[in-house]
Amino acid sequence: MPKKELSYKEAMEELQKIMALLDNDEIEVDEMSAHIKRAAELFKFCKEKLKKTKEEIDQTLKQLDDIK
């Protein structure tokens, strides 16, 4: 079964859950490293998704300007 691609919304929700656990001291020290690594992966994913979306919007707007 193919793995479902993570959406920006899902990534942000997971990141917020991890941050809430960290803020409330609900993560055991033994699990902390794994959660921090996952949070870093999610942050990178979200940052790349935003960058790609911005580039697509900029390209579309440039195409609209070229029509004039």
Q: Which pLDDT tens digit goes with each residue over 24-54?
A: 988 888 899 999 999 999 999 999 999 999 9
pTM, full prediction = 0.79
Neighbouring C-alpha atoms within 13 Å toward the C-beta of 65: 6
Q: Which of 17-21, 23-27, 63-67 has the highest mean pLDDT?
A: 17-21
Provide the 10 A C-beta neighbour count for residue 42: 20
What is the pLDDT, as a whole number, of residue 2?
54
Task: Please give the average per-residue pLDDT across 58-67, as a whole number.
Answer: 89
